[in-house]
Amino acid sequence: MTLDETHAMILKTARSGGMVARVHTGDPSLYGAIKEQMILLDQDGISYEVIPGVTAAFAAAAAARVSFTLPEKTQSLIFTRIEGRTPVPEKESLKELARSNSSMAIYLSSTNPKAVEKGLIEGGYPEDTPVVIGYRIGWPDQRLITTSISLLARDVKQAGINKQAVFLILPGQQDDPIFSRLYSRDFSHGFRQRMRSNRYPEIGERQAPGPKDQRPECYHGCGYGKLTIVSLGPGDPRYLAPKARTALMRAEVIVGYKTYIDLIESELLVGKEIISTGMMKEIIRSQTAIDRACQGKDTAVVSSGDAGIYGMAGLVLELLAEQGLIGDVKVEVIPGISALSAAAALLGAPLMHDFAVISLSDLMIPWEVIRQRVEAAVKADFVLVIYNPKSKKRNWQLEEVRELIRKYRGDHMPVGIVRNAMRQGQSVEITTLSHLDVKGVDMLSILVVGNSRTRLIEGKMVTSRGYMEMYGIENLQEGVNRIGRN
């Protein structure tokens, strides 16, 4: 309805003695266009009352557990939007407002997240400034995506969001916390005098509580929710285990890396609280899931492949143990088809004999240790499965590993390269060590390097288990005939 049509209906009802409730989402004073409505009501002598509401920015901040104001970091919050069909004054352009480096709540801008990203960066925000994307906040299908300014446009696009979203720009959230003076024992104000006791530590003498010194609060009366660590398999919904699907259907909260959340069928996400983050946020995701379980919510933490193989299972269990919650929170780990199993199936049968699995990521393990493990596996004639072979920043190790393997296995050893195994964008290639193109390998690839028993059979990579050598083809036919006679 237009403004005139809405006002005419209100006027007709009011003059006939009726009462009208003109409803708005969020808070009507923020992007609710209520000024023009009030002008018309005043002109016609209609009395009215404006009742405030909770705006999406505040609801999103509460759901994401973030604070817009941080001591010594930012003490201001700007509500704004980018220019669309409604013009924005030049002095209020995103680039100009960004110069303050304050916290921001950006509304009505999800159709052009690239312009948001550009304006914020040009205005002076660091590219890694944290951002929370809140979609349909307060509704059953609300989603929260934690990202950064430089990845905002990409993540909005990947999530398929083009309306009903608010962007929270949160400078200082990633920094070490500084406690405010408000609750310090040596700080007086109108409601409390400073304390002279030394019973409590001074502000600044302690850090924000972490896993070792704080148990998450359980909301008494609801008890603990179940915490399920769900393996999604390689990504194609057809390979999702039935028990994993059931766990996702029953969960109230689903927590995961945003790329993995995108692998889940949309029907399994409806009505859930979705909490997703970018890479390098594993401990935050795990702790958030534990917190939700401690609030009495059945929570699922998702991993691609198998959660027990370079996945989230170990970290979640470690955090629970550190906080003394292992016996309180019920935990279940649901297995899945691992990336190595999916890759092996696409290549043929390369893992029919003993094999070793090694990740080349040196974020947690020193490179020299990884190199020693590769060399030990190659010397022992294991088939070698390589996870995380190369990233944009870590782009030299794979070439070193290839040369190390060639030293022991020669140029002609078969190598399988599988990217995006059993999900969209899948590619499969079988080559040799000498022809391996390391430039085409990335974090979505898995490499399988054969051993002395590996050969190619009609384009398939096969590692012999030894049956043919033990029994021979001539004995095979005799055995088949014996079964037929029985």
Tell me the pLDDT of the chain (486 aa) as tens digits: 899 999 999 999 999 999 999 999 999 999 989 999 999 999 999 999 999 999 999 999 998 888 999 888 899 999 999 988 888 998 999 999 999 999 999 999 999 999 999 999 999 999 989 999 999 998 888 899 988 999 999 999 988 998 999 999 999 887 766 777 666 666 665 665 555 544 444 434 434 444 444 455 554 345 789 999 999 999 999 999 999 999 999 999 999 999 999 999 988 998 889 999 887 789 999 999 999 999 999 999 999 999 999 999 999 999 999 999 988 999 999 999 999 999 999 999 999 999 999 999 998 899 999 999 999 999 999 999 999 999 988 889 999 999 999 999 999 999 999 999 999 899 999 999 999 999 889 999 999 999 999 999 999 999 999 887 777 776 666 666 777 666
Say if residues 120 and 105 touch (Cβ distance below 8 Å): no
Domain of 26, in residue numbers: 3-43
Q: Do 330 and 361 fall into the same domain?
A: no
Q: Do 87 and 111 fall into the same domain?
A: yes
Q: Do 322 and 391 fall into the same domain?
A: no
Q: Do 91 and 165 fall into the same domain?
A: yes
Within a domain: 484: no
Rounded to an integer, what distance in angstroms lies between the CA atom of residue 117 and that of residue 433? 42
Length of the chain: 486
Q: Do 440 and 455 fall into the same domain?
A: yes
Within a domain: 119: yes
Q: Do 320 and 372 fall into the same domain?
A: no
Within a domain: 212: no
Say if residues 109 and 116 touch (Cβ distance below 8 Å): yes
SS3 253: strand
Q: Could you tell me which of 142, 431, 98, 114 has the C-alpha nearest to residue 271?
A: 142
Residue after which a domain boundary falls, among 279, 305, 337:
337
What's the domain count of the chain? 4
Rounded to an integer, what distance in angstroms lies between the CA atom of residue 149 and that of residue 103? 13
In this prediction the pTM is: 0.58
Within a domain: 174: no
Within a domain: 475: no
Which CATH number goes with the domain that contains 326?
3.40.1010.10
Q: Do 79 and 152 fall into the same domain?
A: yes
Rounded to an integer, what distance in angstroms lies between the CA atom of residue 35 and that of residue 221? 45
Within a domain: 181: no
Rounded to an integer, what distance in angstroms lies between the CA atom of residue 345 and that of residue 461? 10
Q: Do 62 and 151 fall into the same domain?
A: yes
Q: Do 348 and 458 fall into the same domain?
A: yes
Which CATH number goes with the domain that contains 371?
3.30.950.10
Residue after which a domain boundary falls, among 305, 337, 369:
337
